[in-house]
């Protein structure tokens, strides 16, 4: 068995791992062989995703003004869907939050200044508001990773789910993929253990399927899933008006979007690609796309996504057989060096492989772009200071009258 694993490692140009394997005791060799055999090593031949892009067209959003005109009708439809048990929420909390440099799950970060106010707490407070309005609990699925699952669950337990009903909270763990250094070599995280990292936020639905969560979705009759990121402390979850607007539009998905602050803002923009909803990254846009304007003066490619999507479950089921593109992300990844020392890098040093939820948008027949006010709904906590940081998020919380 060891012989075959060594052979595979050599074919894959991972001789250093083969050597490490041979240096272990018999018992640990067996463990490591099992570890290696359970990994998806196909990532080793995955290069930088250089997808051929199709032809882009603008996708116009339902603007604030349009939403406001019909907000009562939308809210009523959304609340009805929630009351009827047709809506579930999915919190993506499996990321490593390496830019924030906080050594715990990001949701455990205390964003408060004069009182304790955790990121998870902000999110639960927001979903509780909807629960109050609808008079019904919204099933909340929380995706964690192998690394942060126990801590996340314990944190929720310790804080009594911040007032949410724990019967309506479902944790599931996403999958891992091996990481590689800048030479494409696998790394060790401990003796006999290959370093892996969570496989990106695009794996959420497949992980829900693998962990049995889709049975819960099926049995409870959930028809829509609202997927959102952990790190936006102003995130509106299961927003009745948004849900109602998507349902009334007859479309199979919806995305909350914010108008770009200026043509050069570095955000992915919701658009049409070969007639299908898609997200074009800022670096993929031509000068003409960046600056082109409509007759009323608004930018043609104006609406940035904020990782808050509504998907129809029957459409998501269709995506289970599709392989999403694999992206490489350059990150700070802890590893064990040749001397057996564990190194915690200060700067990005290695690649993790991820699929992205935005690539699922492309698999939808259509998508309602739903404009929201970034000052009221978008306060991402990505960095310690500067852009999208703890400082900017605190300022926005204060702006919205939230005591911190």
Beta carbon of residue 402, minimum distance to ligand UTP (angstroms, whole number): 20
| C-alpha separations of 94 from 42, 199, 265, 390 in Å | 22, 9, 27, 19
Return the percent helix, strand and coil in the chain, to nearest 5. Answer: 40, 25, 40
Minimal distance, residue 209 CB to ligand UTP, in Å: 16
CB of 308 to ligand UTP, least distance (A): 11
Least distance to ligand UTP, CB of residue 311, Å: 15
Rounded CA separation 268/284 (Å): 9
Would you say 312 or 327 has its CB closer to ligand UTP?
A: 327
Report the C-alpha gap between 43 and 184 in whole angstroms.
10
Measured from the CB atom, is 286 or 344 closer to ligand UTP?
344
Closer CB to ligand UTP, 80 or 374, in the complex: 374
State which residue, 81 or 233, has the beta carbon closest to ligand UTP: 233
- The edge-to-edge listing of strands for the beta sheet with 193-194 is 193-194, 188-190, 335-336, 342-343
By CB neighbour count within 10 A (0-12 exposed, 13-18 middle, 19+ buried), where does 302 fall?
A: buried
Is the distance from CB of 369 to CB of 309 less than 8 angstroms? Answer: no
Q: Which lies closer to ligand UTP via its Cβ, residue 187 or residue 229?
A: 229
* Least distance (Å) between residue 119 CB and ligand UTP: 10
Residue of minimal Cβ distance to ligand UTP: 95
Q: Among residues 22 and 344, whose Cβ is nearest to ligand UTP?
A: 344
CB of 199 to ligand UTP, least distance (A): 6
- Judge contact between 106 and 241, C-beta under 8 A: no
Q: Which of 356, 402, 355 is nearest to 375 (CA)?
A: 402
Q: What residue ranges bind ligand UTP (CB under 6 A)? A: 92-100, 143, 174, 198-201, 229-231, 307, 331, 354, 382
Question: Which of left, alpha, beta for 293 (phi over 0: left; psi -120 to 50: alpha)?
Answer: beta
Q: How far apart are CA 40 and CA 326, in angstroms?
A: 12
Alpha helices in 99-189 (DSSP H): 119-134, 149-158
Q: Which is nearer to ligand UTP, 98 or 300 (CB)?
A: 98
- Asked if residues 347 and 298 have their Cβ atoms less than 8 Å apart, the reply is no
Strand partners, 276: 273
User: Least CB distance from residue 52 to ligand UTP, whole Å?
Assistant: 24
CB of 356 to ligand UTP, least distance (A): 8
For residue 343, the 8-state DSSP code is E
User: What whole-number distance in Å separates Cα of residue 393 and Cα of residue 390?
Assistant: 5
Min CB(158)–ligand UTP separation in Å: 20
Contact 377, 236 (CB under 8 A): yes
Strands 87-92 and 224-229: what pairing?
parallel
Report the residue number, 40 or 57, with the smaller CB distance to ligand UTP.
40
* Between 281 and 365, CB nearer to ligand UTP: 281
By beta-carbon proximity to ligand UTP, the closer residue of 88 and 95 is 95
- How far apart (Å, rounded) are the C-alpha atoms in residues 258 and 269? 9
Give the SS3 label for residue 18: helix
Tokens of 219: 């049995």
Residue 16 Cβ, how far from ligand UTP at the closest point, in Å?
Answer: 26
């Amino acid at each position: 068995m060891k012989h075959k694993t060594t052979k595979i490692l050599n074919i894959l140009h991972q001789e250093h791992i083969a050597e490490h394997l041979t240096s272990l005791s018999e018992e640990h060799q067996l463990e490591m062989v099992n570890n290696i055999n359970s990994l998806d090593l196909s990532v080793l031949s995955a290069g930088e995703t250089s997808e051929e892009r199709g032809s882009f067209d603008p996708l116009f959003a339902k603007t604030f003004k349009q939403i406001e005109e019909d907000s009562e009708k939308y809210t009523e439809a959304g609340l009805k869907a929630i009351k009827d048990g047709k809506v579930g929420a999915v919190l993506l909390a499996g990321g490593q939050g390496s830019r924030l440099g906080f050594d715990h799950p990001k949701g455990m970060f205390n964003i408060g200044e004069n009182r304790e106010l955790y990121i998870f707490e902000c999110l639960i407070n927001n979903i509780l508001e909807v629960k109050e309005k609808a008079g019904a609990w919204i099933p909340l699925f929380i995706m964690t990773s192998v690394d942060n699952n126990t801590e996340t669950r314990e944190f929720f337990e310790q804080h009594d789910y911040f007032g949410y009903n724990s019967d309506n909270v479902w944790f599931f763990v996403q999958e891992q993929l091996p990481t590689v250094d800048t030479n494409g070599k696998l790394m060790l995280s401990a003796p006999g253990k290959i370093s892996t990292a969570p496989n990106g936020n695009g794996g959420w639905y497949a992980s829900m399927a693998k962990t049995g969560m889709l049975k819960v979705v099926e049995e409870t009759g959930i028809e829509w899933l609202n997927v959102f990121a952990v790190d936006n402390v102003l995130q509106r979850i299961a927003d009745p008006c948004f849900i109602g607007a998507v349902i009334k539009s007859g479309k199979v998905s919806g995305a909350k979007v914010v108008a770009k602050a200026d043509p050069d803002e570095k955000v992915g923009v919701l658009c049409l690609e070969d007639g299908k909803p898609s997200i074009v990254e800022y670096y993929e846009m031509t000068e003409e796309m960046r600056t082109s304007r409509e007759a009323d003066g608004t930018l043609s490619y104006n609406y940035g996504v904020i990782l808050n999507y509504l998907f129809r479950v029957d459409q998501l089921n269709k995506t289970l057989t599709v392989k999403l593109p694999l992206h490489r992300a350059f990150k700070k990844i802890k590893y064990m060096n040749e001397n057996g020392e564990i190194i915690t890098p200060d700067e990005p040093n290695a690649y993790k492989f991820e699929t992205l939820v935005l690539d699922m948008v492309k698999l939808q027949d259509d998508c309602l772009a739903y404009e929201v006010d970034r000052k009221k709904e978008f306060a991402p906590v990505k960095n310690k200071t500067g852009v999208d940081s703890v400082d900017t998020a605190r300022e926005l919380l204060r702006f919205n009258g939230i005591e911190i």
